[in-house]
């Protein structure tokens, strides 16, 4: 089973656990409500992801996770068969918290292409520089050598929608007379690497830059990208 399939299975496991909790709640007093069960499940995944981020996969134990969220080990093992399964579910949770909705990118577009690309670039840079973005980036970088499928999965779930949006934008706005041109996909990748990749990697390497400097670099890179593309 692929990483993607396992993670989707874990989402189904969460939903089943929530339904079971809701059913137990109807059997007697003191049982958690459906919303309480959902919140406890999400708290478990958030705590686990924070510990994986702080200590790494090998340095994090189920004991540490259950102690941090005050949850019995048997409750965790009823949902996740082992630490790897919990790790993948927590990573999925991290991706969901981090990803930029495509609708937000659409809303940043107007008649001025360069201004639109700047706003889109600023949204994406701010997102990857956020605590959730840096947490996800560092976990992925740290663990992908041991679990190569993590990087592929994070790309699929967290970046492919953005790349598809950018490619569509370039087809519509740069060469509308040739909407099938393959350059658009390459341009979308180039935009991500140039505009977002630089600041993300600098922060991941521990280089802290002022927001004004990051914004100035983003403006320069967008201008360089667009005029190089249209030249």
CATH number of 3-96: 1.10.10.60
Q: Which of the listed CATH numbers 2.40.50.140, 3.30.70.580, 1.10.357.10, 1.50.10.10 matches domain 100-230?
A: 1.10.357.10
In terms of C-beta density within 10 A (0-12 exposed, 13-18 middle, 19 or more buried), how is residue 118 classed?
Answer: buried
Task: Please state the pTM of the whole predicted model.
Answer: 0.74
Asked if 3-96 and 100-230 have one fold, the answer is: no
Q: Let me know: does 95 contact 136? Beta carbons within 8 Å.
A: yes
pLDDT reported for residue 28: 47
Q: What is the pLDDT of residues 12-55, one digit of tens each?
A: 555 555 455 444 444 444 577 888 888 889 999 999 999 998 99
d(CA 119, CA 226) in angstroms, rounded, equals 13
**Domain boundaries in the chain?**
3-96, 100-230
């Amino acid at each position: 089973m692929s990483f993607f399939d396992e993670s989707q299975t874990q989402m189904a496991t969460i939903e089943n656990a929530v339904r079971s909790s809701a059913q137990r709640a109807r059997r007697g007093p003191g049982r958690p409500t459906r919303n309480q069960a959902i919140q406890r499940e999400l708290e478990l995944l958030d705590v686990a992801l924070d510990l994986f981020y702080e200590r790494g996969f090998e340095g994090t134990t189920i004991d540490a996770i259950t102690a941090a969220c005050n949850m019995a080990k048997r409750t965790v093992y009823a949902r996740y068969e082992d630490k790897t399964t919990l790790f993948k579910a927590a990573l999925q949770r991290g991706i969901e918290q981090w990803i930029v909705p495509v609708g937000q990118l659409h809303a940043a577009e107007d008649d001025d292409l360069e201004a639109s690309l700047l706003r889109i670039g600023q949204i994406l840079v701010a997102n990857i520089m956020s605590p959730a973005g840096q947490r996800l980036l560092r976990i992925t970088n740290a663990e992908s050598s041991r679990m190569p499928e993590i990087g592929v999965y994070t790309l699929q779930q967290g970046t492919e929608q953005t790349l598809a949006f950018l490619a569509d934008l370039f087809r519509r706005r740069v060469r509308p007379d040739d909407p099938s041109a393959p350059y658009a996909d390459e341009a979308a990748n180039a935009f991500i690497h140039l505009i977002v990749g630089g600041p993300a990697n600098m922060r991941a390497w521990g280089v802290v830059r002022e927001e004004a400097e990051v914004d100035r670099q983003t403006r320069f890179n967008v201008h360089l990208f667009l005029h190089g593309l249209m030249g």
